[in-house]
């Protein structure tokens, strides 16, 4: 599983630059981690979904399987299902995001879904918000390695950015319960903006429990959506919150 609340002390915050850990064969950690971990091959469905960004998506998968595992951003048991459980699950959200918008990914961690959406939506301006130094360093390396000109990394907590970062869309995956997530996300939205929270099977229960808090935050519409059916297995469950004008 991903570990969004992992203690920062598990790894030194002074992460190296994107080429500092090349191995003797000249491969960067994005291709092969120091423990020899490699990502599984890109499935055909992923190649079709990512299209022109497929090569970068494959490179990102290698970065997750190599340094992403070595630095504790994802667990080693996630390597065989990097595509289905992580990259494709996040890619399914892209059709809910305007092709040209500003987007903040809260608690971005390993870059899921923010980096995936940046690959699929090159016209979007994406901010990866991550408070932990070692994770922010990994994200910076990914941005450089993948040549993502439409992405910036902000090492900060969401509540620290209220009033300074204003976006059209906020995304989050495995960050917090819905009421807490909404309290962090809504202050970053323009009027009429949306929150896209990737959730699991208990999404409807979370919505029911958070109704009062969402109303107090000015959320006018709440939807539980299943996106990616027929393309991604399993399809992604997303809670979409729309704030008032």
Q: How far apart are CA 82 and CA 3, in angstroms?
A: 14
pLDDT of residue 17: 37
Q: How far apart are CA 78 and CA 61, in angstroms?
A: 11
pLDDT of residue 178: 96
Query: Do the Cβ atoms of 155 and 162 come closer than 8 Å?
Result: no
pLDDT of residue 145: 97
pTM of the predicted protein model: 0.84
Q: In what order do the strands lie in the sheet with 219-227?
A: 151-154, 125-129, 102-106, 167-173, 189-199, 236-243, 219-227
Taking all residues of the chain, what is their mean pLDDT, rounded to a whole number? Answer: 87
Structure-token match 């699929």, residue found: 120
Q: How far apart are CA 156 and CA 148, in angstroms?
A: 20
pLDDT of residue 201: 87
pLDDT of residue 236: 94
Angstrom distances, CA of residue 197 to CA of 16, 71, 74, 137, 175:
31, 25, 19, 24, 9
Q: Which domains can be identified in the chain, with CATH numbers? A: 95-243 (3.40.50.150)
pLDDT of residue 76: 94
Structure-token match 């301006």, residue found: 125
pLDDT of residue 37: 72
pLDDT of residue 11: 32
Question: pLDDT by residue (tens digit) across 48-75?
Answer: 999 999 999 999 999 999 999 999 999 9
Residues of the chain predicted below pLDDT 50 = 1-36
What's the DSSP call for residue 80?
G
What's the chain's length in residues? 245
pLDDT of residue 245: 84
């Amino acid at each position: 599983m991903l570990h969004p609340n992992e203690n920062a002390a598990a790894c030194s915050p002074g992460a190296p630059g994107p080429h500092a850990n090349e191995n003797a064969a000249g491969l960067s950690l994005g291709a092969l981690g120091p423990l020899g971990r490699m990502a599984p091959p890109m499935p055909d469905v992923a190649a079709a979904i990512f299209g022109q960004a497929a090569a970068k998506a494959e490179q990102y998968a290698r970065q997750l399987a190599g340094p992403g595992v070595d630095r504790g951003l994802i667990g080693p048991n996630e390597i065989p299902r990097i595509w289905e459980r992580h990259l494709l699950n996040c890619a399914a959200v892209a059709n809910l995001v305007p092709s040209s918008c500003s987007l903040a990914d809260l608690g971005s961690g390993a870059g899921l879904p923010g980096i995936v959406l940046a690959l699929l939506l090159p016209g979007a301006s994406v901010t990866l918000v991550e408070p932990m130094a070692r994770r922010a360093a990994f994200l910076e390396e990914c941005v450089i390695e993948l040549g993502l000109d439409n992405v910036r990394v902000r090492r900060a907590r969401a509540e620290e950015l209220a009033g300074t970062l204003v976006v059209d869309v906020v995304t989050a995956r495995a960050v917090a319960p819905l009421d807490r997530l909404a309290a962090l996300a809504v202050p970053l939205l323009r009027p009429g903006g949306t929150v896209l929270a990737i959730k699991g099977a208990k999404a409807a229960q979370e919505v029911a429990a958070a109704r009062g808090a969402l109303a107090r935050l000015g959320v006018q519409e709440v939807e539980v959506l299943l996106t990616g059916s027929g393309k991604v297995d399993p399809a992604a469950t997303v809670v979409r919150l729309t704030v008032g004008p």
